[in-house]
Structure formats: C-alpha cells, structure tokens
Amino acid sequence: MEDAKIVELYFARDELAVSATREKYGRLLYSLAERILGEKQDAEECLDDTLLALWNAIPPEKPESLKAYSCKTVRNLSFGRLSRNLAKKRAANSGVPLDELEASLSDGLSQARFSDAEFGIVLNSFLGKLRPTARAVFLKRYFFFDTVPEIARDLCMKDERVKSLLFRTKKKFIGFISEKGEDKQ
C-alpha cells in the first residue's frame, strides 16, 4: 500500500493504518529497535510503542515520508527505553558498539554547550552542508547503526573508503559544532 494511502487511513482513524504500517515497515523498525536495545522482547515492545505513537501523532502530523517518520519515532523511543533500562541497571546487550560510537562523537563535542534543541538545529545545518554520499555514510552509521561493511555494500564503496569518509565527516562535524559553540558565546 502506498504511504499516502496509509496516512489517509490514519487521518480516517481507520485501524488498518496500523496493520498496514506494521506490514510495510515492521521489519525495518524492529531491526532498528533491536540494534539499539539488543533484546528481542524489548525491540518487539518498542515496535508496538512506535505503532501506538504513530496512531496518536497522525493526525495532526502528516509526514511526507511515513518510512522516515517511523524510523525517527522508533529510534527516539528505543533510546528512551534504553535510558530507562540503564537506569534500572539492566545491561545493554546492543550488537552495536554504542559506547564506542558515543565516545567517538562526544570526544570533541563535550566543550560545545548546546541545549538538545540547539544541537538539533546545528546538526541539521551541518547535514545540509554535506554532499549526499558523506551525509549518507554519516547517518547510516550514527542514525541507523549500520556496520561499515553494510554501508560499503549499500553505497558500492570499499570498506576503507567508508571508514575514511566517516572519520573525516565526523571530524568536520566536531569542528562545525565547536565553531557554532564559539559563535554562541
């Protein structure tokens, strides 16, 4: 079913919208949740939470891309759940090296003092300046948590080029954020 049709169902408050979303994007959303949470049950519950969140948000939200909107929703909910799990001292069994990724991002970002909202503005300003390939590599790694070989395969690149591009883009990001941080002061 086309996304536009599914969104119409949400607007019509037809519950078919939920099952259509699950059928079309369930695997993708579950996969992203599982990468972050590391637990199948958690991921399944997060998927359910996502579908409920979509039902509650649409309308009035009318996403241009239901797929992108859903991914953003499941990602944000997954991190919320992860945060609660960690607070309960439940170990994160994520297949993704979250600690390592966080460390590589925070190393250099910690000096810039931004609120969460400000960070989002700066982030998107930076992403807007990138060329598509660099942007895709950065987001596939840090938004979707794809591995380097997965990114290389999807973008028809060698692993080494992905690593190199990721390293340079991340450095640029840190530089950009730092510069914006200085402007702010």
Partner 1 sequence: MKQYRYLDLIGKTDERFIKEVLDIHDSERRSITMSKKRIVAVAVAAALVLALGVSAVAAYLRGLNTVEKYISDREESIRLPESFATVAAQDIGTEIEPEDDEAFNPGDARATGVIVSRDSFYATVEINASDAGLDDYDYPDYFDGKFQSGKFGMTADVDGEEVLFGYTGNTPMVSCEDGIMTLVMHFSAYLPEGVDAINVEIGEFGYTSYDNPPDKEHVAVSDKVYSFSIPVDESDMVVPVNSVNEAECDGVKFTAAVDSLGLHFYPQLEISEENNETVREIFDTNKIGIKMKDGTEMKGLFYDTSVPHVLAGGFMGAGETYFSFETLVDVEEIESISLGDAVFKFE
Does the protein bind partner 1 through residue 11 (CB under 8 A)?
no
Say how far apart CA 183 and CA 42 lie, in whole Å.
41
Selected from 120, 149, 182, 184, the binder of partner 1 by CB under 8 A is 120
Say how far apart CA 16 and CA 95 lie, in whole Å.
33
Torsion angle of C-alpha atoms 160, 162, 164, 170, degrees rounded to 10:
-160
Interface of this chain with partner 1, residues 95 to 114, rule: CB under 8 A: 98, 101-102, 105-106, 109
**Least distance CB 110 / partner 1 (angstroms):** 9
Selected from 9, 21, 33, 75, the binder of partner 1 by CB under 8 A is 75
In terms of CB distance, is 34 or 75 closer to partner 1?
Answer: 75
In terms of CB distance, is 14 or 80 closer to partner 1?
Answer: 80
Region binding partner 1 by CB under 8 A among candidate stretches 9-17, 38-46, 48-56, 142-150: 142-150
In terms of CB distance, is 64 or 183 closer to partner 1?
Answer: 64
Say how far apart CA 71 and CA 29 lie, in whole Å.
6
Which parts of 38-155 fold into alpha helices (H)? 40-57, 66-87, 98-106, 116-129, 132-142, 148-155
DSSP secondary structure letter of residue 14: -
HSE-up (13 A, CA, CB side) for residue 25: 26
Say how far apart CA 125 and CA 103 lie, in whole Å.
22
Binding site for partner 1 (CB under 8 A): 63-65, 67-69, 71-72, 75-76, 79, 82-83, 86, 98, 101-102, 105-106, 109, 116, 119-120, 123-124, 127-128, 130-137, 139-140, 142-144, 154-158, 160-161, 163-165, 167-169
